[in-house]
Amino acid sequence: MENVVSIILTAGASKRIKSNQSKVFHEAAEKSLIEYVYSTAKKISPKNIIFVCNKANINQITKNFTQAKTILQKKTKGTADAVLCTKNLLPKNKDVIILFGDVPLIKSGSINRLIKTHKSSNGIGCLLAFKAKNPQGYGRVEIIGNKVKKVTEEVQANKKIKQINLCNSGIMICKQDFLFSNLISINDKNIKKEKFITDIFEIAYKSKKPFLFTMCNEKELQGVNTREDLIKMDITIQNEIKKKLIQNGVTILQPETVRVSYDTKIAKDCTIEPFVVIKKGVIIKKNVTIKSHSVIESSIIGEGSIIGPSARIRPYSVIGKKVKIGNFVEIKNSKIKDSTSINHLSYIGDSTIGKNVNIGAGTITCNYDGKKKNKTIIKDNVFVGSNTSIVAPLTIGSNSTIGAGSVITKNVPSNSLAIERTEQKNIKKK
């Protein structure tokens, strides 16, 4: 589909989100709004994506999307002006698709339908329209047959126009030459004193080259203006993911009290208990139970393992099969092999733990010396007694035992007992 170029508009002022951070970098289900749109644009025109930015976000966008181009719209003079800014960046002869950084749920399928309708007609352009349950606030689309006659913004609509429930998504495709030779004639003589790209439809109609339109589900066109919109979208995206997981054989108990992410993968016959938080990058294999109040991020949980309650698996951890990670246990950047148990009140960081290891309650890997993070290696079949401190870097050989309450600072050979402890004294009270 490389005969199109995607322009993503992100230069809006977005005051209603009430944030010092650019609106398009706010996240829903652990992914920023702009990344959703970018992922979709990548499927449409991977090598031809241009962001129109404002002063507040151009640096962050340029840094985050190195394969796309960015251009600054110096002042918020409207969408027509924003698109015009891209003029010198555009590859010749490619049709232009307009997308919005704050309309993240649009699917590539809908855009492909838009392109197809456009290409098959050999017309000037095509608009993605939708029937709104409640059209208030949206531009209304007047049509004649399959052609767009005019789009009128809510503020300028009379009673009759307001009764139309066919609405403008803003998303469109248009021949580049036509678009750019007409955008310059759009003026800002309206209440908002902005140059609206929506004026293009009447211009096209009047010059006998009307836009077509194709329909899209309203759900995909949900935009984010306020924090409330953001919070609702976060829930909407999650609900769709949870629904699919459940249909594929995952038991998510009291699903409204569970948090999942845009990319959460959970296999059949897993149980996710209430109040579990699954952040991005998580893959959970078959027959796993994640108990309440656990938090998992960017990790893999192996088949048949039981995690929690109140366990935290931090990024870059790989948990093997039939592993038990119990309450108040934190695992960070560690590999835990099959059939190992870490059941209570422990911190395992930057470690590799072998198979069939038992880590006693209150065990701490002292991985940080104030300067750098050090690695702990515990081999198969080790028994670590409770309340032990393991001062990394070190290795504990297979089949060894560590006495409870020890501070282990040196390597332990295999088949050994390591202990650091002095004599207990019982002194009669007077």
Give residues 255-284 in contact with its own copies (rule: CB under 8 A). Answer: 255-257, 259, 268-269, 273-275, 277
Residues 96-155 that bind its own copies (CB under 8 A): none
According to DSSP, the β-strands at 31-32 and 27-28 are: antiparallel
Q: How far is the CB of 290 from its own copies (least distance, A)?
A: 13
230 binds its own copies per the rule CB under 8 A? yes
Q: Of these, 263, 328, 380, 395, which contacts its own copies (CB under 8 A)?
A: 328
Q: Which of 26, 118, 293, 344 is catalytic?
A: 344
CA distance 74 to 54: 7
On the 0-12 / 13-18 / 19+ scale of CB atoms within 10 A, 266 is buried
**Binder among 35, 81, 153, 234 for its own copies (CB under 8 A):** 234
If the CB atoms of residues 81 and 338 are measured against its own copies, the closer one turns out to be 338
- The reply to whether 118 belongs to the active site is no
State which residue, 56 or 404, has the beta carbon closest to its own copies.
Answer: 404
- Sequential DSSP letters for 128-164: EEEE-SS-TTSPEEEEETTEEEEEE-GGG--HHHHT-
Strand partners, 317: 299
Asked if 13 is part of the footprint of its own copies (rule: CB under 8 A), the reply reads no
Task: Looking at residues 354 to 383 of the shown chain, list those that interact with its own copies (rule: CB under 8 A).
Answer: 358, 360-362, 364-366, 368, 370, 383
Contact segment (CB under 8 A) with its own copies among 42-50, 114-122, 136-144, 344-352 equals 344-352
Of 17, 58, 85, 342, which one interacts with its own copies (CB under 8 A)?
17
406 binds its own copies (CB under 8 A): yes
Q: Do the beta carbons of residue 397 and residue 416 sit within 8 Å?
A: yes
Nearest by Cα to 266 from 236, 292, 288, 294 = 288
Closest distance between its own copies and the C-beta of residue 353, in Å?
16
E strand map for 180-250: 212-215
Q: Is 244 in the site for its own copies (CB under 8 A)?
A: no
- Cα–Cα dist 348/122, whole Å: 62
* Residue 235 is a binding residue for its own copies (CB under 8 A): yes
Q: Which residues, listed in sequence order, are joined to residue 376 by a DSSP beta bridge?
A: 351, 394
Stretch that binds its own copies, among 16-24, 57-65, 129-137, 176-184 (CB under 8 A): 16-24
Q: In 3-state terms, what secondary structure has residue 272?
A: strand
Name the residues annotated as catalytic. 344
